[in-house]
Amino acid sequence: MATKIVISKVSEPYADALLELAKANNCVDAITADVNDLLTFLTSVPLLASYFENPVISMANKKELVNTVMGSKLNPYMLKFLQFLIDRRRIAFFETIGDRYLELVYEFADIKVVTVKTVVPLSYRQERRIIRELKEFTSAKEIRLIREVDKSILGGLVIKIDSQVIDISLKGQLRQISSSLDTAGPMAKSVMDTAILMNALIGFDSNDEYSYNSCLLYTSPSPRDRTRSRMPSSA
């Protein structure tokens, strides 16, 4: 844990520098695409990360590999940045630097990255509805949805926005019920509020042939009933 914190602190100024470099040269989109591609590439080829981490391999050999494998595919400023990391012996931290850069660039562009966990894949219409509601909830200009399928939640969905987790899964509701057996009134209200929210986000839509896959286990008001709150209160 302590090592991760140190790496994160070391990586922070490099991520800041990369964003400033991208903004100064009007190539934020190109650099962001390169960072995403590099992170995917490093994940798919773990031996490459091990190569960069190996202190026995010379900086010249590491630069040669970067130029040979990635040189023609990367923005020139991205290539220079990787060579700079090699010179500073920080290339092994690229994954952490890249992740932090993406967080910074999303903040800069007013983009929220939201993870949505469901039992079955969401249909296209369900995704559009969730994105629409999350834009309203977060006031973000754009929502980047990360989809995860997790059968252990039993039904419903779990939404993660930054450090905030909104658990409206069946598993979460059952956990709440089991710990609140002596408070039936508040428990019933909580379950009903969840049902309303669930239906608003991924409930049945007569225009969506896949909406019955949403795994709702109850009936609730129409998602078009705008008189009810459709996102959790801040309380």
Q: Read off the CATH number of the domain in which 38 is found.
A: 1.10.520.20
- The reply to whether 43 and 66 lie within a common domain is yes
Higher pLDDT, 53 or 184: 53
- Kind plus residue range of the DSSP H or E element containing 110: none
> Given 80, 107, 134, which residue is the final one in a domain?
107
**Is the pLDDT higher at 154 or at 96?**
96
In a domain, 137, yes or no: yes
pLDDT of residue 153: 82
> Looking at residue 168, what is its pLDDT?
76
My answer on whether 91 and 119 are in the same domain is no
With a pLDDT cut of 70, the percent of the chain lying above it is 70
Query: Which whole number is the average pLDDT over 28-44?
Result: 92
Name the domain count of the chain.
Answer: 2
- 234 within domain boundaries: no
User: What integer pLDDT is reported at residue 212 of this predicted model?
Assistant: 39
Q: What is the pLDDT of residue 216?
A: 38
Any domain includes 186: yes
- The single-letter code of the amino acid at 62 is K
Residues 199, 156 share a domain: yes
- Rounded to whole angstroms, the Cα distance separating 43 from 28 reads 23
68 and 155 assigned to the same domain: no
Q: What pLDDT score does 86 carry?
A: 94
- Give the end of a domain, one of 72, 107, 142: 107
| Predicted pLDDT at 180 | 55
Same domain flag for 99 and 143:
no
pLDDT for residue 222: 39
Q: Are residues 11 and 103 in the same domain?
A: yes
User: Does residue 55 sit within a domain?
Assistant: yes
User: 103 and 141: one domain?
Assistant: no
Domain of 53, in residue numbers: 2-107
Label residue 75 by pLDDT band (50, 70, 90).
very high
For the beta sheet containing 142-149, the strands, ordered from the edge strand earlier in sequence to the opposite edge, are 142-149, 111-118, 156-161, 164-169
Give the pLDDT confidence of 86-111 residue by residue, as tens digits.
999 999 899 999 999 998 998 888 88
Average pLDDT, the chain: 77
- The reply to whether 17 and 36 lie within a common domain is yes
Percent of the chain with pLDDT over 90: 31
In a domain, 80, yes or no: yes
Least confident of 116-120, 131-135, 169-173, 193-197: 193-197
* Whether 139 and 161 share a structural domain: yes
Q: How far is CA 41 from CA 46, 48, 78, 137, in A?
A: 9, 9, 15, 34
Tell me if residue 199 falls in helix, strand or coil.
helix
Q: What does the pLDDT average to over 59-88?
A: 92
For residues 222, 228, 230, 234, the Cα torsion angle rounded to the nearest 10 degrees is -160
- Same domain for 180 and 126: yes
Contact partners, residue 117, CB within 8 Å, separation at least 6: 148, 149, 150, 153, 157, 158, 159, 160, 169
Q: What is the 3-state secondary structure (H, E, C) of 141-179?
A: CEEEEEEEECHHHCCEEEEEECCEEEEEEHHHHHHHHHC
Q: Are residues 92 and 182 in the same domain?
A: no
Is 230 a member of any domain?
no
Q: Is residue 227 part of a domain?
A: no
Helices (H) and strands (E) in the chain, counts: 9, 4
The last residue of a domain, from among 68, 85, 107: 107
The answer to whether residue 177 scores a pLDDT higher than 80 is no
Same domain, 102 and 123: no
For residue 159, is it within any domain?
Answer: yes
Residue 8 CA to residue 2 CA, distance in Å, equals 10
**pLDDT reported for residue 225:** 43
Cα–Cα distance for residue pair 135/128, rounded to 1 Å? 11
